[in-house]
C-alpha cells in the first residue's frame, strides 16, 4: 500500500462545479503539500499545510491530522483548472524524513 493515496485518479467535471480531491496518508507527517501539474508538464506548489485550512482564490485546502486526510477543493471550476493535482507529505524535519513522498496524482478535466 502506498504511503500516500489520492482519490479519485480521474475526475471530469462541468464548468462551474465544486470539485473535491482527496488525499490519505498512512504515516505521521510534519507537512502536506498540494501541487498542480499543468498539461505542459510544469509543476507549481499550491499549498503547504500542517494543520487547519488555507484558501487562495477559488482553491481551498484542508487537513485533518488525526484522520490523516487532506482535501483540495476548487469552487466555480473552470476549464483552465484542468491539470493533474498531486498530494505530497513530509514525514519530519531532519534526515531522510525531510523528503517528500508523493501520491500518484488526480487528473482533473473541466469541460466548458
Partner 1 sequence: NAGVTQTPKFQVLKTGQSMTLQCAQDMNHEYMSWYRQDPGMGLRLIHYSVGAGITDQGEVPNGYNVSRSTTEDFPLRLLSAAPSQTSVYFCASRAIGTLEEFSNQPQHFGDGTRLSIL
* Chain mean position to CA 16: 19
Q: Interface residues for partner 1 in 11-30 (CB under 8 A)?
A: 30
- Taking the alpha carbons at both ends of the chain, their separation in whole angstroms is 36
Bridge-based pairing state of the strands 106-111 and 52-56: unpaired
Binding flag, residue 90, partner 1 (CB under 8 A): yes
Binding flag, residue 40, partner 1 (CB under 8 A): yes
Bridge-based pairing state of the strands 106-111 and 43-49: unpaired
Binding flag, residue 66, partner 1 (CB under 8 A): no
Binding flag, residue 103, partner 1 (CB under 8 A): yes
Q: List interacting residues with partner 1 (CB under 8 A).
A: 2, 4, 30-31, 33, 35, 40-45, 48, 50, 86, 88, 90, 93-94, 98-100, 102-105
Amino acid at each position: 500500500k502506498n504511503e500516500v493515496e489520492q482519490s479519485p485518479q480521474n475526475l471530469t467535471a462541468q464548468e462551474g462545479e465544486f470539485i473535491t480531491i482527496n488525499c490519505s496518508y498512512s504515516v505521521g507527517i510534519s507537512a502536506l503539500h498540494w501541487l498542480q501539474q499543468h498539461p505542459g508538464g510544469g509543476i507549481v506548489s499550491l499549498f503547504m499545510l500542517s494543520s487547519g485550512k488555507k484558501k487562495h482564490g477559488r482553491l481551498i485546502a484542508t487537513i485533518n491530522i488525526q484522520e490523516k486526510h487532506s482535501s483540495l477543493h476548487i469552487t466555480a471550476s473552470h476549464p483552465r483548472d484542468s491539470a493533474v493535482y498531486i498530494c505530497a507529505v513530509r514525514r519530519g524535519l531532519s534526515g531522510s524524513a525531510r523528503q517528500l513522498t508523493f501520491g500518484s496524482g488526480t487528473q482533473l478535466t473541466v469541460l466548458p
